[in-house]
Amino acid sequence: MAHIVLDSCAGRDGGREALEAAAIASLQLDHQITVVGDESDITTALAKIAHDAERLRVAHARDRCEPDMDAAEVLRQAPRNSVVVGLEIAARDPSAVFVSAGAPGLIVAGAQQILGRIPGVPHAALAAVYPTLRPHGPVSDLFALLLDVGATVECSGDDLVTFAAMGAAYAAKISRIDRPRVALLCNGHGISNAPARAREAHRRLLAARPAFEYVGCIRADSVTSGDADVIVTDGFSGDVLLRTLEGVAATGESLLRRAAEKFQWRVGVQMLSDGISAIREFTDWENYGGAPLLGFDRAVMVTQADSGRRAFLNAIRLGAKIDRLQVIAAISAGVAEFHGLGAPPASPPDPEAT
């Protein structure tokens, strides 16, 4: 049984839907749940929401974060905020999963201060899934993994190879892929024009003998093909790519809707409407909850700022699955194995690194 620690100070309706998700989870799921936020506000709200009082606890966080404050300001001016308090609770419980729709920068900064770092992981990575044309693994998973998508904007070659090891270990557990195919996001099919960090990572991945299959470089226009189970990049590029994929999906849905409006016969409209619904269901990020923050000794789920009940519930389910499958231990073992199998050491800093 996992211990879900849920930040109720962020998400849709000022965190109200996060609290409603916690209440639903207490009734439907076999997990202990701790909701973090203003104790008085939470207690008042819970009095009007059906929940299992034996499975749902409240932890008080006296400080609230202002939306325009950066992570350093929040930690300095509001040190007992819900992210910090929640992470502290998670740090004390090996079975804990922290879930929050708070600012990713604050969650990463808080985790760096409070949680233990997996040995061999210099920086953390946010991992997101995206749909592909080709399914993955024996369960025919229709999604591949992209990391980093925002935790570490400035990456070194060492960060990228470590992200590869973490992503492969995650995919092996979650999608049951024995030997995940890992690719490095590049601006061409070759590596010669890539930044120094990518060239360094490419060299080391080629020379290593990892438990995953390194398939080389992949361009952004090929990421949805399904040729790779895991795609590795820096946090800035990954975030831009992920937002682009989301925007393309939204544009496709709008174009289909526009086409449906032009049809004058019922069957055509129904066919296109069914297609629109399928696309919406397939690309709706709330169906997948949140992005796991990899690199720490606790499971941390980061959901989008406007997450609703469904997103929080799915983030809780995924976090519990990570705990049940012992994904963090698998990542730790994967990183240790990669760095201990004769992977070449990092090269001296490259003046061309960007």
Report the predicted TM-score, pTM, of the whole model to 2 decimal places.
0.87
Mean pLDDT of 68-72: 79
Residue with tokens 């009082």: 53
Report the candidate in 148, 175, 116, 127 with the shortest Cα–Cα distance to residue 292: 127
Residue 346, pLDDT score? 47
Residues 97 and 144 in one domain: no
**Which is more confidently placed, 70 or 281?**
70
Check which CATH number belongs to the domain holding 59 and give it.
3.40.718.10
Are residues 46 and 187 both part of a single domain? no
Q: Range with the lowest mean pLDDT among 154-158, 169-173, 203-207, 288-292?
A: 288-292
Does residue 168 lie within any of the structural domains?
yes
**Using CA atoms, how far apart are residues 1 and 116, in angstroms rounded to an integer?**
21
Same domain, 171 and 305: no
Give the separation between CA 107 and CA 113, rounded to whole angstroms.
10
Q: Quote the CA–CA distance of 43 and 56 in Å, as a whole number.
A: 11
- Tell me whether residue 314 is exposed, middle or buried, using C-beta atoms within 10 angstroms of its C-beta: 0 to 12, 13 to 18, 19 or more: buried
Which segment of 31-35, 193-197, 267-271 scores lowest on mean pLDDT?
267-271
Please tell me the predicted confidence (pLDDT) of residue 272.
58
pLDDT on residue 13: 85
Tokens 């919406």 correspond to 280
Which residues, at least 6 apart from 214, have a Cβ–Cβ distance to it below 8 Å? 164, 182, 183, 184, 205, 206, 208
| Residues 187, 317 within the same domain | no
Same domain, yes or no: 319 and 233: no
Q: What is the pLDDT of residue 344?
A: 45
Query: For residue 25, what pLDDT is reported?
Result: 93
Amino acid identity for residue 109 in this structure:
A
Residue 332 lies in a domain: no
Q: What percent of the chain has pLDDT over 90?
A: 59
Residues 100 and 170 occupy one common structural domain? no
Do both 191 and 271 map to the same domain?
yes
Same domain, 277 and 303: no
Mean pLDDT, to the nearest integer, of 184-194?
85
pLDDT score of 352 more than 50: no
- According to the model, what pLDDT value does residue 163 have? 97
The more confidently predicted of residues 164 and 137 is 164
Residues 128, 277 share a domain: yes
Distances (CA, A) of 203 to 62, 168, 183, 354: 49, 18, 13, 17
Residues 114 and 132 in one domain: no
Q: Which two tokens stand for residue 308?
A: 């609703």
How many domains is the chain built from?
2
pLDDT at 353: 41
Mean confidence (pLDDT) of the chain: 86
Token couple for 291: 């992005």
pLDDT at 345 over 50: no
Q: Identify the domain containing residue 167 by its residue range.
A: 123-286
State whether 213 and 258 are in the same domain: yes
The more confident residue out of 317 and 14 is 317
Say whether pLDDT at 179 is over 80: yes
The answer to whether residues 268 and 312 belong to one domain is no
Which residues touch 300 (CB under 8 Å, ≥6 apart)? 87, 90, 97, 98, 100, 107, 111, 115, 292, 293
